[in-house]
């Protein structure tokens, strides 16, 4: 399996496995995560999720696995739009999923959305189990990205579809320069102010900077088996949508 820059970017130290550190970090910021997400993206994250869901709508998936589900924003939005029979939100952080369970109960969707703690690089599900597999803003946190994507491919049914949303670095002037300043200065400052978790919001921009994107991610998806792997960007390249099929 190949190694990528974002796999080497760690929240706390170089001594523990990334998965352990990511779980601890997200458990620590779970209560503030949604507020920070919407604040730091100026609310654009909601529109990005809608565009990702729009890709899936023509295929009407009934069994969906949402990897790195966090507090369940994508799972809830998918259920409201796609009316799936079952969505499993899988995440390494129990703290994040507990927030998600409360949101799902408040929305009255607990008969369709379920949360399960999973290691994304070693899922416990049978192969060919889901009509769609999704991930929003979580791939950069994988300890082994290619292994995580291979697992997503494994559990997807033949004819099923992949939809990944991930933050990315703009490539063109002046957005490239502006976003660089924003990610280095503003994101860590606001993150520390709201969450009191300094490391998490220094880790975030560092991981975005080095996660595979564009053609590199397309090639990676193709290598693990996905057909019709495609990348497109939104909001001047700040967010990327990756899609494929099995």
Distance CA 196, CA 32 (A): 10
Per-residue pLDDT in tens (0 to 9) along the chain, 246 residues: 666 767 887 767 777 889 999 999 999 999 998 998 888 888 999 999 999 999 999 999 999 999 999 999 999 999 999 999 999 999 999 999 999 999 999 999 999 999 999 999 999 999 999 999 999 999 999 999 999 999 999 999 999 999 999 999 999 899 899 988 888 888 888 877 877 777 777 888 889 888 999 999 999 999 999 999 999 999 999 999 999 999
Could you tell me the residue range of the domain that residue 75 belongs to?
5-245
Report in angstroms the alpha-carbon separations of 122 from 3, 144, 161, 209, 239: 17, 10, 20, 26, 26
Residue 101 maps to which CATH number? 3.40.50.150
Domain count, the chain: 1
Edge-to-edge order in the sheet of strand 63-67: 113-117, 86-91, 63-67, 130-136, 156-167, 239-245, 227-234
The reported pTM is 0.94
Tokens of 89: 């939100």
């Amino acid at each position: 399996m190949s190694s990528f820059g974002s796999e080497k970017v760690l929240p706390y130290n170089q001594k523990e496995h990334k998965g352990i550190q990511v779980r601890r970090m997200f458990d620590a910021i779970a209560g503030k995560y949604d507020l920070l997400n919407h604040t730091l993206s100026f609310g654009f994250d909601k529109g990005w999720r809608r565009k990702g869901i729009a890709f899936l709508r023509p295929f009407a998936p009934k069994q969906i696995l949402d990897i790195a589900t966090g507090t369940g924003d994508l799972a809830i939005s998918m259920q409201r739009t796609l009316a799936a029979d079952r969505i499993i939100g899988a995440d390494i952080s129990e703290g994040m999923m507990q927030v998600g369970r409360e949101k799902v109960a408040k929305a009255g969707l607990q008969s369709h959305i379920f949360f399960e703690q999973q290691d994304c690089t070693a899922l416990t599900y049978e192969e060919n189990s889901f009509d769609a597999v999704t991930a929003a803003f979580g791939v950069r946190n994988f300890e082994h990205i290619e292994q995580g994507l291979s697992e997503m491919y494994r559990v997807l049914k033949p004819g099923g579809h992949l939809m990944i949303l991930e933050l990315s670095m703009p490539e063109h002037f002046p957005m490239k320069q502006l976003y660089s300043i924003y990610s280095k200065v503003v994101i860590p400052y606001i993150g520390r102010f709201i969450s009191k978790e300094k490391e998490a919001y220094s880790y975030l921009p560092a991981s975005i900077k080095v996660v595979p994107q564009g053609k590199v991610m397309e090639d990676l998806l193709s290598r693990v088996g996905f057909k019709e792997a495609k990348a497109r960007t939104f909001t001047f390249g700040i967010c990327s949508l990756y899609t494929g099929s099995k």
